[in-house]
Structure 1
């Protein structure tokens, strides 16, 4: 799947997924984000805010059911058990991986991790709203 803008409503500067590396619909999605200086919105502090790491995972989760959503998007609805292990800086190549943990009503719970060069940067359980 290469048409990321065709499956997510987000646009620059809030489109936070650059490439889908692996996708098993309903099972897992692995994506990539190349961090640039423009992704660090705090002047004089080139660190990606933790909240954007969670948004990257939520956007990646939008590809779990992309085939059945027909252009409609999933949105971040809640965050549980988020932990942050290290800062993310310009030049980092992030690996984003999400897998579903369950679904009820219009919500899906997913577990996501952000890694860089094999070390975990962030892990969280997220609730995403399904259309």
Structure 2
């Protein structure tokens, strides 16, 4: 499965005075989607870090199409796009309860050896998961 979905309810603290989600709060929604995509594939982000591997974002674009509002139930859709020697790429979107497209995003992350601070190829077990 190359796609995974989670639901997130917009909390009051994530909005501005107009009850619209503050633009910076979309990034954690997308992060939750990526972490759960990995978990759904049997890869724990926590275990990656315990094994000395980090996955920092090196590139992201976000396109805000319509606002999300307080108490909306959002669907965060995370789609695996590609994996190269050290990078993994995701296309993501957020939809509301009416299935309206609110936001799209693209993320590129790099596998990094936490001890050396340098990019590395992902471990074999991750490559096997990504190929299926």
TM-score, L = length of structure 1? 0.66
The one of 7, 10, 13 aligned to 1:38: 13
Alpha-carbon distance between aligned partners in 2 of 1:46 and 1:109, rounded to the nearest angstrom: 32
Summarize deviations over 1:71-111 as a string: whole Å, max 9, x none: 2364433213x211111111111000011111123321100
More strand by percentage: 1
Segments ≥4 residues shifted beyond 4 Å: none
Where does the alignment leave 5 or more consecutive residues of structure 2 unmatched?
50-54, 113-132
Specify the structure having the higher radius of gyration (Cα). Answer: 2
Q: CA deviation at 1:38?
A: 1.9
Aligned partners of 1:115 and 1:121 also within 8 Å: yes
Count of residue pairs the alignment pairs up: 103
Identify the residue that residue 72 of structure 2 maps to in structure 1. 92
Q: Does 1:120 align with 2:120?
A: no
The root-mean-square deviation of aligned C-alpha atoms, in Å, is 2.1
Summarize deviations over 1:30-72 as a string: whole Å, max 9, x none: 00110121222x4x34321223213311321122222234623
TM-score, L = length of structure 2? 0.66
Counterparts of residues 1-131 of structure 1 (less than 5 Å): 24=1, 27-40=2-15, 42=16, 44-66=17-39, 67-69=42-44, 71=46, 72=48, 74-80=55-61, 82-116=62-96, 117-130=98-111
